[in-house]
A and B are shown apart, each in its own frame.
Chain A
Amino acid sequence: MILIYLIVILLAGAFLAWITGKQNPVRPRIISLVALSIDLIIIILYVLQSTPSNKDWLIDIKLDWIPAFGISLHLALDGLSLVMLILTFFLGIISVIISWKEINSKVGFFHFNLLLILAGITGVFLSLDLFLFYFFWELMLVPMYFLIGIWGHENRTAASNKFFLYTQASGLLMFISIIALYFIHVHSTGVYTFDYLQLLGTAMPSSTGMMIMLGFLAAFLVKLPVVPLHNWLPDAHTEAPTAGSLILAALLLKTGAYGLLRFIVPLFPSESVVFAPIGMLLGVVGILYGAKLAFAQTDLKRLVAYTSVSHMGFVILGVFSFNELAYQGVVIQMIAHGISTGALFVLVGQLYERIHTRDINKMGGLWEKAPVMGAVGLIFSMASLGLPGLGNFIAELLILIGAFKANVLMSCLASLGLIAATIYSLRIVQKVFLGKANTDWKMNDLTLREKIVSASLVIAIVWLGLFPRPVLNTAKPALLKTLNKQKEITFHDRIITNKINIVKNLLLFSEIEKKD
């Protein structure tokens, strides 16, 4: 039941915040904070009292919803979703705190939307019924549209429309795929069900499987996002209020990555192997093209937004490498990117509150006025460029090694992203904090509230960089489960695996294998 409570608490909080917000703007803030804290505490208590087990699912709950169509309320938790939930509630709390002063109009409705999005995200990370999954997937969308459209910056309307159209269109493609999968399953077994566990291993011709997978992929790759389907992202991130950008970058994008791991690979094991070379290529293109665009921007928020495109390239590269190292890297990348890019958006928000501009050409020399802010900016720029000791390094290291195993060329090209990241990250530090002050801004350093937010993010990223083991161990069984499923089915598909091996053999490993 614990899983249902998690979602219900957020939904209840959302409505309560809306209702109370009409009289008093402080109440919705407190309600949101309390709701998210309860969720976080529940999940942490669960982690503390649970004993390690070899079960596929740590918690698995299934209630009937619309039995006639085989739709059920099937929620389940494994290591992967557990890690993602902790991230969701942690950053949820952060997003409430940073909006404390920034959001002053329609406070109740703002928090209603905020909690609704978080409830949707929580649902996405827990659903094991495809219909339910789609429901939560859509639940994230509409409130986010409002968040950008109502509390955003100058060009908010265009940005929110773009966001809505991209996500909705790709979501519909996924819905068609879900329905198709449903009927194919009915056709072959006679059982009407949307249940993930039952749909796994549905027999179908590989061309059909490919078509259905592409529908799912459309939704996940747009969300991730992958070049060339990324154009909604810079606009949405730039125009959203700080909390919106934080949730977009840190959590919403991760639902795409989560979808790849949870649905694409297990549901379409052999089809995804066929798609792998394209997937890896898309990853590399994203890494390099995103970095290039980040370097070109003068709007700080847009710059950070493009770095997300680059970092998410690592995720897709890792997913299509199909090995444990890369998958562990993907999980760490989701968390590390969530924290580090989230922190950079928070920083941009703090700057905007003080100097009312996002143009880096008007900044410069701010270290002198706000050294604490400068230090925070420096740490997260370093995280972004993959400095060892911070979480992002572990992620990129594991992904690159894993990718190297799968495809040497792609991994080497992706490694160039480390250099590109250095170039744009140092540009952030230089343009904002160092050099001569281009304008004599009157500004103060971080307040206590802001310091607490930044400090907790800094601690999180350092902790992840030095002690990633708890996360690695928690996610491990879930990832192995995914990979084993994939191996079982593609085992007989020698031709496909051989094709992948060709690249490997050509480049490096031929020599070793000869010797063996």
Chain B
Amino acid sequence: MSTIIALIPAIPFLSFLILALFGHKLSRKIAGIIGAGSIGLIATLTFIIAVGFFRSLPEIKSYSVNVWEWINAGNLKVDISFSLDALSLVFCFVITFVGFLIHVYSIEFMAKDEGFTRFFAYMNLFIGSMLVLVLADNILLMYLGWEGVGLCSYLLIGFWYKEPGNGYAARKAFIITRIGDTAMIIGIFILFLNFGTVNITELMQHVSEKWVTGSSIAVLTSALLLGGALGKSAQLPLQTWLPDAMAGPSPVSALIHAATMVTAGVYLIARTHVLFSLAPVVQSAIAIIGALTLLIAGFSALAQHDLKRILAYSTISQIGYMFLALGVGAWSAAVFHFMIHAFFKALLFLGAGIVILVLDEEHDIFKMGGLRKKMPVVFYTFLIGSASLSALPLVTAGFYSKDQILWYSFSSQSGSTMLWLAGIIGALLTALYSFRMIFITFYGEAKTEPSFIPGKLMTVPLIILAVLSLFGGFIELPASIGNIHLFSNLVDNTLPVIVTKPGKGNELLFQTLSAIIALSGIYIAYFIYFKKPSLSEPYSRSRINKFFEEGWGFDKLYDTFFVKPVVWLSVIDKNDFFDLWNIGLARLALLFNRVLSRTQNGKMRWYLLSFAIGIAIILTYMLSK
């Protein structure tokens, strides 16, 4: 049982190697089978492991396996070893299962692309790295996975490399996340130097025993780790890379920049929750960052014209919800929303991918329209995805996952009315932009004709994801409705139970309120974007909307304060001003050479004069003594 865990990341690495080394000799069909089949295989393995895991609960709460000793220097001992508990199991499930669906979809989506095998090689490498990230039992191996997914993200954003803009977006993503990662690695140094281990379980044990709540070292360390999480999960202030990351193929956006990699920050914080709970300041900061991010990104999503950019901002905003949940200590709610979000956001990106593909790379929603009748499968699944995203009450999974977060942002011990308010405004925004997208893209008159109808390999994954986006929520129902806690019971084996305030309000009241907000959001969207578009036009053309569309000016800000100075510095000192010393020395030598060689002019008079002056000086010196 334990040894199978090591196979989960190993198989995609193996298929990556096969595709990378022999890809050019393989036919597309075989490359597709290897690429998607390997992920299917590990999805099955994950399922088998999950069954075993459930059976052995609650006696055994984690499995681990040691593969080989990686580093052994001084007192630093790091193994390549994996461990699986409830938290990593949830992540593994999403990565392998959603990953498999996206791989299958990609076989058709990428069928005509010249980089077909390269694409699957990168995708497999990504899955492997992501699994290392969530299965690593020590924080350095986790960092290996962490950087590995960063690399794959870079490679896949810039997959169509001939377009310089894609390369720019790819580098932006890599560099911005690396800034966060550097903070994170310093945090890892502090943890290791204080406790002499990098094993996460041992570290958390030591942390809880030896560090005091609120002590500055706990605050500093958790803040540094948070830096890494903010970068990867595209949260304020490191969120600017994600909208540009949409330059990659749509399956990439679905898998990496929506369902899995961008939630790595959520995983990191949940994994090291012991440390974060010792730093209440940092935890409140997480909640506030989450709340601000979800609002800022929500407004930006409402202002976009590019279908994928709407979804990108929506992703930032939804991860903001997860951070909000983490910040108020609602660990399992954050992980639950991660899972449900993976379903519906992957669905939306895959749907958007089809729409863009059949409309010949048209990204602007205002040039689409009327697709409802022409592509019913895509429309209905997309509708389900949007409904789940907008948390349509009772019937969608998104409702149950988001509702939990909203509830705990108010009722948990560190919750507050302000946080709840931010969440509920965000919920209104979410419903608005989701259905703005639906009404403009799928309703009205057709502005561009679809060039072909998507085949089964693309539509079946959509249908499966749509089913999950609807019914996935039923494994966790609030006490007021149904009271089922399958998910939190599972996750509570790893994460602490949420502590709520005494004398909290009535949960049902809050749920009704958020249900009304979601419904009215959808209605408003219907009214101002479909029924009477003239109502929304003044706002769409307003300056403030333009400001939101450009992501609140963060790009400009960073450009002025970071990019331009660095470029300026390298332009003025390209030739390395230390070299001036050498040049100066050489010139000085030349000067002496010229001056002295002029004295060698062969004229007797000149030599005699020099003699005379010399004698005169020497005599004067001697006599004056």
Measured CB to CB, the residues of A under 8 A from B are 162, 227-228, 230-231, 234, 292-293, 295-297, 323-325, 328-329, 365, 367-368, 371, 375, 382, 385, 387-389, 394, 397-398, 400-402, 404-405, 411-412, 415-416, 418-419, 422-423, 426-427, 430, 433-436, 466-469, 472-473, 476, 508, 511-512, 515
Contacts of B178 in A (CB 8 A): 385, 418-419, 422
Measured CB to CB, the residues of B under 8 A from A are 20, 24, 68-76, 80, 140, 143-144, 147-148, 151, 154, 158, 161-164, 167, 170-171, 174-175, 178-179, 181-182, 185-186, 189-190, 192-194, 210, 215-217, 220, 566, 569-571, 573-574, 576, 578-579, 581-582
- Point out the residue from B154, B574, B578 that lies within 8 Å of A230, measured CB to CB: B578
- Point out the residue from A416, A419, A469 that lies within 8 Å of B69, measured CB to CB: A469
B144 close to A388 (CB less than 8 A): yes
Q: A1 to nearest B CB, angstroms?
A: 33
- Point out the residue from A293, A371, A423, A434 that lies within 8 Å of B158, measured CB to CB: A434
Contacts of B151 in A (CB 8 A): 382, 387
A371 to B161, CA, bound (A): 12
Q: Which residue of B lies closest to A398 (CB)?
A: B73
B164 close to A389 (CB less than 8 A): no
A434 to B164, CA, bound (A): 8
Contacts of A433 in B (CB 8 A): 161
Q: Which residue of B lies closest to A389 (CB)?
A: B144
Contacts of A365 in B (CB 8 A): 161-162
- Point out the residue from B161, B175, B179, B210 that lies within 8 Å of A515, measured CB to CB: B210
A367 to B162, CA, bound (A): 9
A445 to B143, CA, bound (A): 34
Contacts of A368 in B (CB 8 A): 162
Contacts of B215 in A (CB 8 A): 511
- Point out the residue from B167, B185, B186, B579 that lies within 8 Å of A435, measured CB to CB: B167
Contacts of B186 in A (CB 8 A): 404, 411-412, 415
Q: A378 to nearest B CB, angstroms?
A: 8
Contacts of B170 in A (CB 8 A): 426
A401 close to B192 (CB less than 8 A): yes
Contacts of A434 in B (CB 8 A): 158, 161-162, 164, 167
A296 close to B571 (CB less than 8 A): yes
A404 to B147, CA, bound (A): 21
Task: Given A296-B571, A400-B185, A515-B210, check contact A472 B147 (CB 8 Å).
Answer: no
Question: Can you name 29 A-B residue pairings with CB atoms under 8 Å?
Answer: A228-B581, A230-B578, A231-B578, A231-B579, A293-B573, A296-B573, A324-B73, A325-B75, A328-B73, A368-B162, A371-B24, A388-B140, A388-B143, A388-B144, A394-B71, A400-B185, A401-B192, A404-B190, A412-B186, A418-B178, A418-B182, A419-B178, A419-B182, A422-B174, A426-B175, A430-B171, A434-B158, A435-B161, A512-B194
Contacts of A467 in B (CB 8 A): 68, 70
- Point out the residue from A292, A388, A436, A508 that lies within 8 Å of B190, measured CB to CB: A508
A329 to B71, CA, bound (A): 11
Contacts of B182 in A (CB 8 A): 415-416, 418-419
Prevailing SS type, chain B contact patch: helix
A41 to B154, CA, bound (A): 41
Contacts of B210 in A (CB 8 A): 515
Task: Given A297-B574, A328-B73, A328-B74, check contact A423 B189 (CB 8 Å).
Answer: no
A80 to B239, CA, bound (A): 45
A411 to B573, CA, bound (A): 25
Q: B284 to nearest A CB, angstroms?
A: 22
A324 close to B571 (CB less than 8 A): no
B161 close to A404 (CB less than 8 A): no
Q: A173 to nearest B CB, angstroms?
A: 17
Contacts of A423 in B (CB 8 A): 175, 566
CB-CB nearest 6 A-B residue pairs: A296-B570, A388-B144, A328-B73, A324-B74, A434-B161, A325-B74
* Supplied contacts A389-B147, A402-B74, A415-B185, 8 more A-B pairs, CB within 8 Å: A228-B578, A292-B566, A293-B576, A296-B571, A323-B74, A398-B73, A472-B71, A508-B220
Q: A73 to nearest B CB, angstroms?
A: 34
Q: B279 to nearest A CB, angstroms?
A: 14
B175 close to A419 (CB less than 8 A): yes
A398 close to B76 (CB less than 8 A): yes
B71 close to A411 (CB less than 8 A): no
B164 close to A422 (CB less than 8 A): no
B167 close to A508 (CB less than 8 A): no
Q: A467 to nearest B CB, angstroms?
A: 7
A365 to B161, CA, bound (A): 8
B185 close to A466 (CB less than 8 A): no
A384 to B554, CA, bound (A): 29
B574 close to A401 (CB less than 8 A): no
Q: Which residue of B lies closest to A230 (CB)?
A: B578
Task: Given A296-B574, A394-B71, A426-B171, check contact A404 B189 (CB 8 Å).
Answer: yes
Q: Which residue of A lies closest to B571 (CB)?
A: A296
- Point out the residue from A234, A324, A394 that lies within 8 Å of B576, measured CB to CB: A234
A228 to B217, CA, bound (A): 36
Contacts of B143 in A (CB 8 A): 388
A512 close to B73 (CB less than 8 A): no
A324 to B190, CA, bound (A): 17
A419 to B228, CA, bound (A): 13
A388 to B154, CA, bound (A): 15
A468 close to B71 (CB less than 8 A): yes
Q: Which residue of A lies closest to B569 (CB)?
A: A292
Task: Given A296-B573, A415-B185, A423-B175, check contact A401 B161 (CB 8 Å).
Answer: no
Q: A282 to nearest B CB, angstroms?
A: 13
Q: Which residue of A lies closest to B190 (CB)?
A: A508
Contacts of A389 in B (CB 8 A): 144, 147-148
A292 close to B161 (CB less than 8 A): no
A371 to B140, CA, bound (A): 31
Contacts of A404 in B (CB 8 A): 186, 189-190, 193
Contacts of A293 in B (CB 8 A): 570, 573-574, 576
Contacts of A231 in B (CB 8 A): 576, 578-579, 581-582
A427 to B220, CA, bound (A): 33
Contacts of A401 in B (CB 8 A): 76, 189, 192-193
Q: Which residue of A lies closest to B161 (CB)?
A: A434
A163 to B390, CA, bound (A): 67
A511 to B189, CA, bound (A): 16
Q: Which residue of B lies closest to A415 (CB)?
A: B182
- Point out the residue from B20, B80, B181, B185 that lies within 8 Å of A375, measured CB to CB: B20
Contacts of B140 in A (CB 8 A): 388, 397
- Point out the residue from A387, A411, A476 that lies within 8 Å of B147, measured CB to CB: A387
A511 close to B174 (CB less than 8 A): no
Q: B153 to nearest A CB, angstroms?
A: 13
A306 to B274, CA, bound (A): 43
- Point out the residue from A292, A323, A328, A426 that lies within 8 Å of B570, measured CB to CB: A292
A352 to B210, CA, bound (A): 58
A325 to B71, CA, bound (A): 11
A402 to B192, CA, bound (A): 11
Task: Given A405-B193, A412-B186, A418-B185, check contact A473 B72 (CB 8 Å).
Answer: yes
Contacts of B190 in A (CB 8 A): 404, 508
B164 close to A388 (CB less than 8 A): no
Q: B211 to nearest A CB, angstroms?
A: 9
Contacts of A400 in B (CB 8 A): 185, 189
Q: Which residue of A lies closest to B177 (CB)?
A: A422
A418 to B227, CA, bound (A): 15
B73 close to A472 (CB less than 8 A): yes
A166 to B475, CA, bound (A): 72
Q: Which residue of A lies closest to B175 (CB)?
A: A422
A328 to B566, CA, bound (A): 33
A227 close to B578 (CB less than 8 A): yes
Q: Which residue of A lies closest to B143 (CB)?
A: A388
A8 to B220, CA, bound (A): 57
**Counting chain B CB atoms within 10 Å of each CB, which of A385, A397, A436 scores highest?**
A397
Q: B340 to nearest A CB, angstroms?
A: 31
A195 to B417, CA, bound (A): 77
Contacts of A234 in B (CB 8 A): 576
A385 to B179, CA, bound (A): 13
